Structure 1
Amino acid sequence: MTAQWYNDDASAIIHQVLPRKTFLRRKTPGQAIDHQMIAANVDTAFLVQSCHFDFNPRRLERYLVMAADGHVEPVVLLTKTDLIATAALETMLAIIRSVTTATVMTLSTVTGSGFAALQQRLLPGKTYCLLGSSGVGKTTLVNRLIGQEAFATQAVSSTGEGTHTTTRRQLVVLHSGAMLIDTPGLRELGILGAGDEVDRGFEDIAALSARCRYADCRHVHEPDCAVRAAVERGELPEDRYASFLKLKKESTYYGMSQLEKRHKDKAFGRLVKSVKKRRWD
């Protein structure tokens, strides 16, 4: 577990696993219904998206829900700003600000733009995690922060599209005393059992929900739903509303599947015990 804290002595014997203050997790890739822990005790998650091929507001919403689920502060980091024009960058920033009130930072490891501002944000004793797809520049950024090519990177194509490099999670201590976790690119980002934290990932919808007639409004067919009213008035984009409903449904579905799995495991355990008991009676 990356950034899991232990209580140990000089001989490195683990005496106690300390509780996690925060975490970053996703649904296990594939058909399995379970959580996969990515990192623990993270103070800030940098949600990294490239300004070129990787920019995807719907995927960003998933990262925001992941951070909310684990009570981690999100910061959106737009990389490779040197590949697009200023007007295009401003359009992307406007889209992000319509999705979240989280801090947004821009960065180019080629020109160095935004690098000093990022360094100032990395405080001693704090733990930070880079989350993003393959090829968005996470490992290149880590190498620049530590001042050497400590981790392998792949050359980008002529179009600026990156390639998959990092295959395991790794924590490095920076010269400032901050701790930074680099992670492999996340191809699948399933949401499992996030519950009300999905609402926290959609701050604008959460604010509208307070004006619904029913406190448990699902924003689907209920009367006097402030969320659907905002969609009908054009104040809430339909694609964002659809994304919210999709993540709520996905989280609930996988959460129920996980609960059913636990019930089956318990039932199987009781069966095994009863068989053993009959054998020894």
Structure 2
Amino acid sequence: MDYPAVGDWVLASFYDDNTLAIIHEILPRKSLLKRKTPGKKVDFQLIAANIDVAFIVQSLNENFNLRRLERYLVMVNEASIQPVVLLSKSDLLDDAEIAIRIAEIQSIAPQVEVLPLSSENGSGLDSINVMMQPGQTYCLLGSSGVGKTTLLNTLIGKEKYTTKTVSSKESKGRHATTHRQLIRLDSGAMIVDTPGMRELGNFSAAKGVEETFSEITALSKQCRFSDCSHVGEKGCAVLAAVEQGTLPADRYENYLKMTRESAFNEMSYFEKRKKDKQFAKHCKSVMKQKNRK
């Protein structure tokens, strides 16, 4: 995490008509958006730094998924970034269906603003433009095919970036954006476009989980045991809420899954760091012995 990320402010020297630069220092970050590296490797992958508002984009078709949205909210809340949910392709549903989707999101994230939009007919775009303030940095998060690149082109005002269609066979988007980049808009706001994320693992995300599942956090304070795991203990207020139907079972299961995943990845990461340090220490000792001979 000592390396620069998109959105970092740095002290740098430029040479040869600005064709070469040397970064001397990264200035303190006010936020850092990160996730687990995709695949089996347990490490951090930096997504962007110094983000003020994260636009989490879900399309109002097959892509709409509350459990996936919870994962994005954990990542964003962990970084203390303001989340805003954008529901793209609103032209595909009528107002009543859109209202149902918004209510579903507000049932799990009542404090988060939700805006439906359509790059096809332009609805909702004015609200996003008004929201984006000069000097503030925003980012677009979401799976491939939800319309992030189309929205970016609309905000820029021209077809600058290539878009790709959703696969009709698998209903999965294909990556139009292949790398992260920061773009300065004419309004003075800055926006970071990110590649679509099919794998979104979190670790060291206890704060993000606590904020995203705030009602479970509140219920846990009513459990009989302070170290309740909310799995099989007697007097567990969380399990009681699931049994009574006041806490949806799929939300509860996602909470357990993400809590375990975050703890396991964190333990694995620090175990790896410990072994790396021990190995480095061993190598240093061997080299010292060799030099003595």
Give the TM-score range, shorter chain: over 0.9
Query: What is the Cα deviation at residue 223 of structure 1?
Result: 3.5
Equivalence for 1:232: 243
Taking the aligned partners of 1:65 and 1:54, their CA distance within structure 2 comes to 19
- Aligned to 1:109, the other structure's residue is in SS state coil
Query: What is the Cα deviation at residue 129 of structure 1?
Result: 0.5
Taking the aligned partners of 1:110 and 1:52, their CA distance within structure 2 comes to 14
- The answer for unaligned runs of 5 or more in structure 1 is none
- The answer for unaligned runs of 5 or more in structure 2 is 16-20
Asked if residue 248 in structure 1 is aligned to residue 259 in structure 2, the reply is yes
Taking the aligned partners of 1:117 and 1:19, their CA distance within structure 2 comes to 31
Q: For 1:223-257, what per-residue CA distance to the aligned partner results, in whole angstroms no more than 9, with x for missing partners?
A: 43221121111100011000000000000111111
Q: For 1:165-186, what per-residue CA distance to the aligned partner results, in whole angstroms no more than 9, with x for missing partners?
A: 1111111111111100111100
Taking the aligned partners of 2:166 and 2:203, their CA distance within structure 1 comes to 33
Equivalence for 1:98: 107
Equivalence for 1:110: 120
Taking the aligned partners of 1:222 and 1:193, their CA distance within structure 2 comes to 25
Contact persistence 2:31–2:50 (CA under 8 A) = yes
Contact persistence 1:52–1:161 (CA under 8 A) = no
Of 140, 144, 159, which residue of structure 2 is paired with 1:134? 144
Query: What is the Cα deviation at residue 68 of structure 1?
Result: 1.3
Query: What is the Cα deviation at residue 98 of structure 1?
Result: 1.2
Aligned CA distance change for structure 1 residues 157 and 246 (closer, same or farther; 3 Å): closer
TM, length-normalised to structure 1: 0.94
Please list, as runs of the form range in 1=range in 2, the aligned pairs for 1:191-202 lying within 5 A after superposition.
Answer: 191-202=202-213
Please list, as runs of the form range in 1=range in 2, the aligned pairs for 1:242-281 lying within 5 A after superposition.
Answer: 242-281=253-292
Equivalence for 2:69: 60
Taking the aligned partners of 1:267 and 1:157, their CA distance within structure 2 comes to 47
Contact persistence 2:117–2:124 (CA under 8 A) = yes
- Identity of counterpart residues, as a percentage? 52
Taking the aligned partners of 1:161 and 1:33, their CA distance within structure 2 comes to 26
- Aligned to 1:258, the other structure's residue is in SS state helix
Equivalenced residue count is 281
User: What's the C-alpha RMSD, in Å, of the aligned pairs?
Assistant: 1.9
Decide which moves more: 193-202 or 259-268.
193-202
Query: What is the Cα deviation at residue 75 of structure 1?
Result: 0.8
Q: For 1:43-98, what per-residue CA distance to the aligned partner results, in whole angstroms no more than 9, with x for missing partners?
A: 11111100012101000000000011111111111000101222221221111111
- Aligned to 1:267, the other structure's residue is in SS state helix
The amino acid of 2:71's aligned partner reads R
Contact persistence 2:54–2:76 (CA under 8 A) = yes
Aligned CA distance change for structure 1 residues 228 and 158 (closer, same or farther; 3 Å): closer
The amino acid of 1:251's aligned partner reads S
